[in-house]
Structures are given as structure tokens and as C-alpha cells.
Amino acid sequence: MHIENLSHWSGYLNREMYLNRYGHAGIPVVVFASSGGSHNEYYDFGMIDACASFIEEGRVQFFTLSSVDSESWLATWKNSHDQAEMHRAYERYVIEEAIPFIKHKTGWFDGMMTTGCSMGAYHALNFFLQHPDVFTKVIALSGVYDARFFVGDYYNDDAIYQNSPVDYIWNQNDGWFIDRYRQAEIVVCTGLGAWEQDGLPSFYKLKEAFDQKQIPAWFAEWGHDVAHDWEWWRKQMPYFLGHLYL
């Protein structure tokens, strides 16, 4: 398997940002880490090995990004607006710096895929919904898609609202976005077992919104034995990759 340990400077975050590449060809899959995770986490917890057949066949190549969650949504000592503003800086890094870097490395200029587990699933779905011109496939595993989970009630703070998928999706009526959502491949999965309860309310609210807006998506509920844990994400990710058009 082709592996590269990469880094590049982010002007938006004012630091060197590290990322890893796993694979030599195929659609780039941009991976967001779970809470407090690093760019090495996806490999360390066996997700790359779980998807190795897709990588070695040249169908996908994974790019695992660094996180700034400890300075944004997890930075509970900040006020909620400042948490959201740090996330916005990260968004600019991803879209305006990391994505062009990945395009340059791969020569891939079509739509990409994004994925993540837990906190990474929140990022993956949020980035897809905000930038469906960049991402045309998403696999979100065991996420919480409501910003209140991170900051509590945020009242009328637009910076937070714009990053709370369970809220803004209801008011997203722009045909440009809706058309791209309908053309995309969307997987949102949750287990029903241990530690999955936090994500269930936003999972069902999102499903309702997608149904009402006639956006095709696969909202998959796995069993009551399926926990919020890497053991299950290692099974889910290759399963869903096998059902996408790659």
C-alpha cells in the first residue's frame, strides 16, 4: 500500500498541518478525526486495514486530516461564538488549502468523498452539506449533528447555526444545494447500542428533513448490539464503501 506522511502550511490556522495519504489512485476520501483524534488515528484504530482491499484496487485513497476541535467545539473555556469562529477558520483551511493540496497531489479534480466516525461524522456531514460542489459522497458513522451538543443553546448566533446541520437543513431551500444533494451518495449510519444515544435525536431529525426535501440518502440503523466504537466502525466503513459507485 502506498503511504505518505505529508504536511503543508496553513495561513488560515497559522501553523503546519499534518495529514497522511493511504493509496495511489481512486477517489480521494477526506477523513475527519473523532474527538481529540489526530491525523494518525484512522490508521492506528485499524480503519485503513479494514478498507485495504478498496485501497489496493485503486478505487479509493484516504487523506486523514489533522483536527483543531480542541480549540473549537471542544474548547469549553471559550464562549460559544469564539468556538464557532475557530471552526470557521478550520473550514477555510479545509476548503481553500487542504483540498487544493490534495488535488495537486492526486491530479483528481472531480468530486471527493468525505467520512468520519463520531465527531468526525459531524464534520463529514457538515462539510458535505456546506460544500456539495467539493464533496459528492459522504459516509458519516455515529455522529451528533446538533451544535447544541457542543455549545448548549446558541440563540441567534449565525456562526453556530450555520454549523448545526440538524437546524440549517430545514431552511436550506436553495436549488443549487438541493440539486447537488440529490445527485450525491449520502450514508448516515448509527448503531442502537452502547454510547450511541447522544446521536439518535439528530439522526432521526435529519432523516425527517431529508425525506421532506426528497433528498435520497441511506439512513442506516444497525442493531442494539452495535456500540459507538471502532470495532463497529471497522465493519461499517468497508460495508458502505462496497455499496457506493466507485
Domain boundaries, the chain: 3-241
- Give the type of residue at 134: V
Task: Tell me the percentage of the chain whose pLDDT exceeds 70.
Answer: 100
At the topology level, CATH places domain 3-241 in Rossmann fold (3.40.50)
- What pLDDT is attached to residue 154? 87
pTM above 0.95, yes or no: yes
The cell for 59 is 478505487
For the stretch 20-56, pLDDT in tens is 999 999 999 999 999 989 999 999 999 999 999 999 9
- Cα 149 to Cα 40, 80, 152, 235: the distances in Å are 25, 12, 6, 26
Hunting for cell 437546524 — which residue is that? 167
User: DSSP secondary-structure letter at 46?
Assistant: T
Q: Using CA atoms, how far apart are residues 246 and 231, in angstroms rounded to an integer?
A: 24
Mean pLDDT across the chain = 97
Q: Using CA atoms, how far apart are residues 137 and 42, in angstroms rounded to an integer?
A: 19
Q: Using CA atoms, how far apart are residues 9 and 16, in angstroms rounded to an integer?
A: 4
Q: Mean of the pLDDT values across residues 96-112?
A: 98
- What pLDDT is attached to residue 153? 87
Predicted confidence band at 179 (pLDDT cuts at 50, 70, 90)?
A: very high
Q: Which residues, at least 6 apart from 211, have a Cβ–Cβ distance to it below 8 Å? A: none
